[in-house]
Structure 1
Amino acid sequence: LGAQTAYELDHFHFHWSDNDECGSEHLFDDFKFAMEIHFVHFNRKYGTLENAAKQPDGLAVVAVFCQLDPDSENCSEILNAETISKINSCGLKTQLSCSSCLNDKF
């Protein structure tokens, strides 16, 4: 990616499963994670995600691997059974407040 190239965040989506050890779509050093988040950006010079997807320099996807820490209380809102039950099949959406999950490192 060139320093002069502007990419815009279009959306982000999650990959997870009912098993905390195999939710990620990709591996890191042969290790799968509980969840993987993809932040999908498009090159602004193409105007839309759809146009950019047709170009070799059109998309930039940042993947973030996540591990579940059952002892952490930071993400209790997201891990709450009531919240998770709203997104129990592919394509369903709900609003989440992720600010409680960000620790001092962010």
Structure 2
Amino acid sequence: NLRISDRAHVILPYHIELDRLQEEAKGDNKIGTTIKGIGPAYMDKAARVGIRIADLLDKEIFRERLERNLAEKNRLFEKLYDSEPISVDDIFEEYY
């Protein structure tokens, strides 16, 4: 049986996109990331804004945290990386 802690952090689509954009922005200095979103998820964990398994269990809490995190990430996508924002609804519907 596989057990997953409710305190485990979740890698979401915006982590993967941020990983890709960060790697792309490095140009010739790329580090060869796997583009799986692990680094950006750890950044959220360290900043204490990461979404955990327990947050997925409560629809309202998940939506609230997702909206807060995506607002910040979408500013990065648009302003720093000149990339399209990610829809809260698209991610939310993927999980609910």
- Whichever structure has more strand as a proportion of its residues is 1
TM over 0.5: no
The structure whose RCO (Cα within 8 Å, separation 6+) is larger is 2
Q: TM-score with structure 2 length normalisation?
A: 0.28
